[in-house]
Amino acid sequence: MSLTREDIYHRIELKNNLKLTHELTKEFVDSFFETIVQVLERGEEVKITGFGNFELKNKNSRPGRNPKTGVDVEISARRVTTFKTGKKLRARINPTPKQR
């Protein structure tokens, strides 16, 4: 299952017993994501405690190949965003049995 923005809006609305209107919920979620994008655009990391970190990494240019034609191409240098899960999220995803 994929989680869309509409799903996020709906889940927040349900969790708050409809105290927030759909428009306010949408505005909040959209500004949250926009803030993350703006920080990444400035080249900074985004750390969300208990969730994880969004980091920018520089990739060097490298040789590649067009899989359709087999022609060699140069893949240009670029920045990519990576996500590393935090300990709390990792623990929830991969729970370990409690030791006795």
Quote the percentage of the chain above a pLDDT of 70: 96
Return the pLDDT at 13. Answer: 86
* pLDDT band of 62, cuts 50, 70, 90: very high
Check the CA dihedral 59-64-66-72 and report its sign: positive
Residue 67 pLDDT more than 90? yes
d(CA 84, CA 51) in angstroms, rounded, equals 9
Structure tokens at 46: 């985004």
What are the two backbone dihedrals, phi and then psi, of residue 88, each rounded to the nearest 5 degrees?
Answer: -65, -40
The hierarchical CATH code for the domain 45-94 is 4.10.520.10
Q: What are the domain boundaries of the chain?
A: 1-44, 45-94
pLDDT tens-digit profile of 15-24?
877 678 889 9
Total-model pTM: 0.75
Distance, first Cα to last Cα, the chain = 35
Residue with tokens 């709390």: 88
